[in-house]
Structure 1
Amino acid sequence: MTFLCMARGIQKKKLLLTMIESDRKLRALMDRCRERGLVLNKDKLRLRQKEVRFIGHLVTSEGLKPDPEKVKAVKEIPNPENVAGVRRFLGFVNYLSKFLPSLSDLCEPLRKHAQRRCMELSDHKPLEIILRKPLHIAPKRLQRMLLRLQKYTIHLAYHPGKEMFLADTLSRAYLRNNEQTGTLEEETKHLARFLPVIKDRIQELRQETQADKTLVKLTKVILSGWPEISAYVSAPLQPYFNIRDELTVQGGIVFIGERILIPETMRMDMLRRIHSSHIGVEGSVRRAREYLFWLGMTKDVKDFVTKCDTCRSFDDKQRKEALVDYLRNTKSKTVIQKLKALFARYGIPGHLVSDNGSQFASTEFSSLPRNRNSVV
């Protein structure tokens, strides 16, 4: 068995222990194993070796070296055929990083390829906002596209069409008789189909949206693209600027995520429908948040429910029963009578806590029945 010791000095010289010292340490190891009841496999024992394989390395009298079998495996590894293969290869060759000071520089092109970074230019301003949408709040029609793009690191920059000469020119001078090659994948998702709303109501929403001046302006901004800063947005649309990433227009209806933005003329009717079963404030708010949205909707729902005559008529009937009966007055005699009734029903308490009122410090109260261990 060969023992190597790395010196901790500035030069870090390698010191080979003498054979006598090595044998002494080996005997001490064997004695300790015998004391602890450890059994060693003699078939695996190697004494006085010049090198030993240990965790993929060679421990030699000259220091640590790479295992030739690992090096051979790296040289003969098949060429990666996909991004996952490139990543596996990079992870494997990191084994040699301590022996190749320039390995990081050599692998940099492969790392860039594995990351699949894409720099794209587009003249479609809303596309910048679409790619920043969190997946869980993105409309259904965008979720599939965002899922497909998750394996890429895309950096999208907006450029006006007039500055994208090649794409803009070809889009205006395309070949009219050019035949399509391959198949065109087409997918249509209409959010209204996933809502529990009848067709007549959908048509009414569409008509009222087109009649609402604020929503008409909002629709135009959503389709044409939002300005960079809110100062350039008209006053009626200012409250929507911070949620612009979630706003979409489909079939003449404005959606925020998967919820419908309700025109002002229909909000009172929606409040009546939300609270039609008189489910209370919290239940009505939860129900509204599932499919509907407008600015200040939560406050409107709470105000509507608190002013509901039907719900208010049942308030007294639903009042919780008090543990202690109402007192006609706070005299000691009245308090004692009520407490005796409670003690007879529930038993005499071990501790009775009061606010040090005069009725509790009276002579009458001191005669109140109590256990031997009761404390007032």
Structure 2
Amino acid sequence: MGAVICHNSQPIAYASASLTPCQQSYSQIEKELLAILFGCTKFHQYIYGRQTLVETDHKPIVSLMKKPLYDIPPRLQTIMLRLQPYDLKVSYKPGKYLYIADTLSRAALSEQSLKEVDQELDLHINMLISTLSVSPEKLKEIKENSIKDEVLSKIIIYCQNGWPEHKRSVSPSVKPYFDFKHQIYVIDNIVFKDTSIIIPFNMRNYLLNLIHEGHQGINSCIRLAKGTIYWHNINKDIEKFVSQCHTCLTFRNNNSKEPLISHDYKLLAWNKVGNDLFEINNLKYLIVVDYFSKYPEIALLNSSNSSSVITHLKSIFARHGIHILP
């Protein structure tokens, strides 16, 4: 890592350090954020209590710093919390123009810095895993299958080495995950999206059966999966799985058709009438039809409430007479 503090574009002090073995396994965005924390910690006496402009060559950091803390991936929250005391304004600057900091990062001192961040991240990770309602055996199975999975294995590599800048450069199978790549992180070869585990392809059917074990409806199953497990088009897969469940199809409520009922009326106009409300082009109407002559009366309604309907019915009955009750 390399950092330089400048005033009016003139350097004041320099700093560099090597990453610990644990930090070397961080994703690219974690390393970039860690570098900012390193610079802030090193130059604390200069910048504390002052607004500081931070220039970085990693563009995703700019949008990340504008997000509320709860909307940031849990692993990054640990570093972001340590940046809270500082008034930072982050801007993007291509690496070819960050001459000094880039040079320092390539000729870093052997001294390792921010080892306490490793401990905090380990603590945060252990806490996150302990809150998951997944057995250790199942976590191990997810881990093993994630490494073998065609999509997740590529995501793990992207998280470790950095995502391509453009979506077109990403492997086609991973493109559905590109738009929220900064919400994805890897813990012990298990891929997470925020707090949800991204499930390998060959374990999805098992999870669908587990979610629908109580034969709940589509919406209930989606709510059950939310915040716990994730994969691309999971909601569509749940909907398809539930709608094809043999048990649910067997015992679902059958909407039986009501038989047609013939209307008994005397051979006399306006002896029996029917009325209904309908809507065309966002305008509401009342229709009254005489059963004998099929003559309709239509009135435009300002409102579909009962008082408006009664007012128009009174007007119609005043013109044609009150129908004869049976």
> CA 1:132–1:214 in 2, change beyond 3 Å: closer, same or farther?
farther
- Residue 192 of structure 2 aligns with which residue? 255
- Residue 329 of structure 1 aligns with which residue? 261
Q: What amino acid maps onto 2:220 in structure 1? A: G
The Cα offsets for residues 111-158 of structure 1, whole Å up to 9 and x where unpaired, read as x98552142557x88866764654223233322322332342142657
- Residue 220 of structure 1 aligns with which residue? 157
Contact 1:260 1:292 (8 Å CA) reproduced: yes
Is 2:78 the partner of 1:144?
Answer: yes
Q: CA deviation at 1:268?
A: 0.8
Contact 1:192 1:202 (8 Å CA) reproduced: no
CA distance in 1, matches of 2:156, 2:63: 15
> CA 1:280–1:360 in 2, change beyond 3 Å: closer, same or farther?
farther
Is 2:88 the partner of 1:153?
Answer: yes
- Aligned match of 1:316 in 249, 253, 263? 253
Unpaired runs of 5+ in structure 2? 1-46, 266-272, 277-286, 295-321
Is 2:164 the partner of 1:164?
Answer: no
Q: CA deviation at 1:247?
A: 0.7
Q: Could you state the TM-score of these two structures normalised by the residue count of structure 2?
A: 0.59
Q: What amino acid maps onto 1:143 in structure 2? A: Q
- Residue 181 of structure 2 aligns with which residue? 244
Contact 1:126 1:222 (8 Å CA) reproduced: no
- Residue 203 of structure 1 aligns with which residue? 140
Contact 2:51 2:88 (8 Å CA) reproduced: yes
The Cα offsets for residues 8-29 of structure 1, whole Å up to 9 and x where unpaired, read as xxxxxxxxxxxxxxxxxxxxxx
Could you say which structure has the larger radius of gyration? 1
Q: Could you state the TM-score of these two structures normalised by the residue count of structure 1?
A: 0.52
Secondary structure at 1:119's aligned position in 2? strand
CA distance in 2, matches of 1:211, 1:196: 23
Q: In percent, how many aligned pairs have the same letter? A: 27
CA distance in 1, matches of 2:289, 2:258: 17
Contact 1:248 1:255 (8 Å CA) reproduced: yes
- Which is richer in strand? 2
Q: CA deviation at 1:192?
A: 2.3
Q: What amino acid maps onto 2:178 in structure 1? A: F
Is 2:207 the partner of 1:270?
Answer: yes
Contact 2:222 2:238 (8 Å CA) reproduced: yes
The Cα offsets for residues 71-124 of structure 1, whole Å up to 9 and x where unpaired, read as xxxxxxxxxxxxxxxxxxxxxxxxxxxxxxxxxxxxxxxxx98552142557x8
Give 1:8-157 correspondences, 5 Å limit.
114-121=49-56, 131=65, 134-150=68-84, 151-155=86-90, 157=92
Secondary structure at 1:164's aligned position in 2? helix
Unpaired runs of 5+ in structure 1? 1-111, 334-350, 370-376
Query: How many residues matched?
Result: 229
Contact 1:140 1:258 (8 Å CA) reproduced: yes
CA distance in 1, matches of 2:52, 2:216: 51
CA distance in 2, matches of 1:292, 1:266: 11
**CA RMSD for the aligned pairs?**
3.8
- Residue 16 of structure 1 aligns with which residue? none
